[in-house]
Structure 1
Amino acid sequence: MTTTLGTRPATRPPKPAPVRAGRRAKSSYPHWFYLPAAVVYTALFLLPTAAAFFFSLTRWTLFDYEFIGLDNFVQFFREPALVKGLTNTLIYAVVTSGLKVVLGLLLAVLLTSQIIGRGLLRSVVFFPVLVSTIGVGITFTALMHPSEGAINQALAAVGVEGPAWLTDPSWALLSVALVDVWKGVGLATMIYIAGVVSIPREYYEAAEVDGASALERFRHVTLPLARPATVTVIILSLIGGLRSFDLIWAMTGGGPGFTSDVIASVIYKQYQAGFYGLSTAGNVVLFLLVSALAVPLFWFLNRRETEL
């Protein structure tokens, strides 16, 4: 084959470089959707938290402040009511969260079984959650009156002498805790109901085929598979118990004496007395206490769940 002088042989165009699958040009566009949430979170949480930490180191009023370092914290821990308030806070949180876990799980098992009026009963159990905490406190203050309260009158009708629920130092904190459980167990029950109904029915059918009793099905099926709901109820109830203030203040005001004071009520009394920097330091202490207990507990419970 001959070629003509002065002409070049035809050349093929270069092949495009292969594009690797899965590699796409990164765009910042999706990250802009985080911006509204980031602005709200910064404005409502990060900035107030930073301001609280700063003003806890000052002696401040609405118009002026003076930096005094850690003096507020030193004075706060010297408060005679603090040790009692800290002890009461831990007792209150443990009692309320423990009872909400136990009663919430039992009520959830009952309200997911085949009983008459199940929907109505669920509404009745959840109703106290919707009622104002102050309203609940005022109502139960009247019901728990030592002589004229309906509770003691009902006990007297069956020959039982009721205690002075809110005026006896040995009963005051426990009485408020029981009212807190009555009001909050409905939320725990709803969380447990969601956890129980999400368990596949095949597990219960297999347990029935193996001859497991109702108690064994609860122990070996419901209890372990409802663990995520248990973790949620424990964390929420514990945080709520540690931060509790409004119900205690409405029913006892921290009394009689300091017997039902918690950290939040001690902080409020300092604020009422005009010690704004001292009360801010107390809020920081409460924030650190809740974080120091809730965060490791949450990590531990979730770690145990993954190991199981």
Structure 2
Amino acid sequence: MATTTVTRSAETRSSAPSAGRVRAKSPYPTWFYLPAAVIYGVLFIVPTLIAFYFSLTRWSIFDSKFIGFGNYVTFFKEPALVTSLWHTLIYAVVTSGLKVVLGLLLAVLLTSQIVARGYLRSVVFFPVLVSTIGVGLTFTVLMNPEKGLINQSLSVIGIQGPGWLTDPSYALLSVALVDVWKGVGLATLIYIAGIVSIPQEYFEAARVDGAGAWDNFRHIVLPLARPATVTVITLSLIGGLRSFDLIWAMTRGGPGFTSDVIASVIYKQYQAGFYGLSTAGNVVLFVVVTAIVLPLSRFLNRKEVEL
């Protein structure tokens, strides 16, 4: 009875604004948006269209030759390139999923009445401020299979640590875990903002009705922190699909091609002078990110309104 009452109150609060939502008329005239539209067009739309064109050519700095969809045919015929696409999807799903789960759990902990709460929040958020390349180089040393601190610590308790970055079975997931360590602080911060914005009346009503910590989490925090969840999923997924710098700093796509993602393959193609092929890879990456994130964002936001 207690949890049902709290849940219904939360659902009423979430759905009430959407039921009578009326789109407000903008107080600004149309021409007021012109400067922003021009900047957006010059910095985003025009370069995007140019990239689409050059992906259909074999080009260098001085000339270009139109070859149609030849670069795309080559891209999808190359096994390493197709494999990098799967690696990108795996990397994005693992990192975004762990950031959502760990970020929510840490946020619940750091919004409770614990000692040194402010200090712990700073500790969790600190990795976000550190340079990605610096983090990559540091963990490359820590994960060294012979001299790394992680394996040395495991050997003390009788566990032989694997080759985190040299074993093809562990390389991609090892980098993904480092990515989670670095980025979970931002997810936690977003969740903290979502949790502290929940009115205390819900928790007080639940306390009066005898609800426990699990009931509060399940029937109050989870439903009313949904906007934060949508934000974390969207940002983490985009970051995971576009990830490059951490992977390049730690493995350079190796060993072999076992930790290559689309972005690292694109960079290697640029280095090799295959500019048209690498531009086609950029377009493929753009399409993949758009095809995954846009429908997912619409679905999650629609579900949020329906709650």
Give the alignment's TM-score, normalised by structure 1. 0.89
**Superposed counterparts of 1:106-125, under 5 Å:** 106-125=105-124
Query: In the alignment, what sits opposite 2:52?
Result: 53
Matched AA of 2:129: L
- Could you say what secondary structure the match of 1:166 adopts? coil
Cα distance, 1:36 vs structure 2? 2.6
Report Cα offsets for 1:147-194 as digits up to 9, x if no partner: 100111111112211111000010000100000000000000010011
Cα distance, 1:31 vs structure 2? 3.0
Cα distance, 1:49 vs structure 2? 0.5
Aligned partners of 2:194, 2:32: CA distance in 1, in Å?
31
Query: In the alignment, what sits opposite 2:222?
Result: 223
Query: In the alignment, what sits opposite 1:299?
Result: 298
What percent of counterpart residues are identical?
78
Cα distance, 1:35 vs structure 2? 2.5
Query: In the alignment, what sits opposite 2:277?
Result: 278
Report Cα offsets for 1:81-109 as digits up to 9, x if no partner: 02211111111001000000000001111
Matched AA of 1:261: D
Query: In the alignment, what sits opposite 1:25?
Result: none
User: Stretches of 4+ moved more than 6 A in 1?
Assistant: none
Aligned partners of 1:116, 1:46: CA distance in 2, in Å?
50
Aligned partners of 2:43, 2:109: CA distance in 1, in Å?
40
- Could you say what secondary structure the match of 2:160 adopts? coil
Query: In the alignment, what sits opposite 1:139?
Result: 138
Cα distance, 1:33 vs structure 2? 2.8
Aligned partners of 1:271, 1:75: CA distance in 2, in Å?
15
Report Cα offsets for 1:263-287 as digits up to 9, x if no partner: 1111111111100011000000000
Query: In the alignment, what sits opposite 1:211?
Result: 210
The higher radius of gyration belongs to 1
What are structure 1's unaligned runs of at least 5 residues? Answer: 1-27
Give the alignment's TM-score, normalised by structure 2. 0.90
Query: In the alignment, what sits opposite 1:71?
Result: 70
Cα distance, 1:29 vs structure 2? 7.1
What are structure 2's unaligned runs of at least 5 residues? Answer: 1-26
Query: In the alignment, what sits opposite 2:34?
Result: 35
How many residues get paired? Answer: 281
> Quick check: 2:75–2:82 contact (8 Å CA) kept in 1?
no
Matched AA of 1:198: S
- 2:62 counterpart of 1:97: no
Choose between structure 1 and 2: higher helix proportion: 2
Query: In the alignment, what sits opposite 1:175?
Result: 174
- Report 1 or 2 for greater relative contact order, CA contacts < 8 Å, sequence distance ≥ 6: 2
Cα distance, 1:39 vs structure 2? 2.2
Query: In the alignment, what sits opposite 1:84?
Result: 83
